[in-house]
Amino acid sequence: MPELPEVETTRRGIAPYIEGQEITEVLVRQPRLRVPVPEDLAERLVGASIGPLARRAKYLQIPLADGSATLLWHLGMSGSLRIARLGDLPKKHDHVDVVTASGYVLRYHDPRRFGFVDWQQGDGSKDKRLAHLGPEPLDDAFNGQWLFNLSRNKRVAVKPFLMDNQVVVGAGNIYAAEALFMAGIDPRRAAGRISLARYEALAVAVKEVLAAAITQGGTTLRDFVSGQGEPGYFAQQLNVYGRHGQPCLRCGSELRRITLGQRASVFCPSCQR
């Protein structure tokens, strides 16, 4: 499933081909995505130019250069955006094309159709889907003090606390597990009973695992222009996620799997306290 690093890598990968380009055609082959593709999408887009791409959490924001509207694109469970060239034949599950005057085509592929594309007036910042999101993990607003302040008197375990989108966006199951391992914090520990110093270590760890994933995505997803189907999402070097029953890479203890907040959680009972 595309997580924040894949969405950020996608933004960086497609931006050079479509920013500043005029949209000449919009083709919707399958409108039944998680949110139906707006019927007036082509009418709204054709003739407009594309402004600088942004991202908020796992939403890719593609603004029109005149500021009148912004496309909000979510990749769902299995979606991907890549650049095709005019004349490249669509493959199965290539549902939407945004054709630009330069001949580059932004092409959306999504076998399970849990993703969507929708548009909002203006810069899109008033979209209700973005209204209650916590800070971006790589922004300065996300830090140990923020985690400490939000967690006081909270009895929820720290892992589901960290995975809450209102606390920080982008700390999905993989990254939360890896960051807690890196910070040496037991995922079961009550969020309200963790010290400021330990939250500072945790915030640094979250930033490190996500930044590493984005960097790795940048090297793995080099080729956004190809007829090779969807970009292959990358498998990061993981310390705990998916490794239950195997030895801890730090101390050799057997990694344990438990369920926390309905999600599988793997951790080292020796290194994480």
Which residues in this chain contact Zn ion in the complex, by CB under 5 A?
248, 250-251, 253, 268, 270-271
56 carries a ligand binding annotation:
no
Contact (Cβ atoms closer than 8 angstroms) between residue 199 and residue 144 = yes
Ranked by CB distance to Zn ion, the top (closest) residue is 248
Q: What are the backbone dihedrals phi and psi of residue 35, each rounded to the nearest 5 degrees, phi first?
A: -110, 130
- From 3, 8, 136, 178, the catalytic residue: 3
Rounded Cα distance between 137 and 178, Å, is: 14
Give me the least distance between CB of 239 and Zn ion, in Å please.
9
Consult the annotation and say whether 29 binds a ligand.
Answer: no
Q: Which is nearer to Zn ion, 145 or 253 (CB)?
A: 253
Q: Measured from the CB of residue 185, what is the shortest distance to Zn ion in angstroms?
A: 13
Q: How far is the CB of 221 from Zn ion (least distance, A)?
A: 32
135 labelled catalytic: no
Tell me whether residue 60 or residue 209 sits nearer to Zn ion (CB atom). Answer: 209
Q: Choosing from 11, 58, 82, 159, which is the catalytic residue?
A: 58
Catalytic residue at 250?
no
Catalytic residue check, 187 = no
Catalytic residue among 2, 5, 137, 187: 2
29 is catalytic: no
Non-local (6+) Cβ contacts of 191 within 8 A are 151, 154, 155, 156, 157, 158, 161
Q: Is 155 annotated as a binding residue?
A: no
Write down the least CB distance from residue 270 to Zn ion, Å.
Answer: 5
Of 90, 111, 263, 269, the active-site residue reads 263
- In the annotated binding site, the residues are 93, 112, 154
- In the annotated binding site for DNA, the residues are 93, 112, 154
Catalytic residues: 2-3, 58, 263
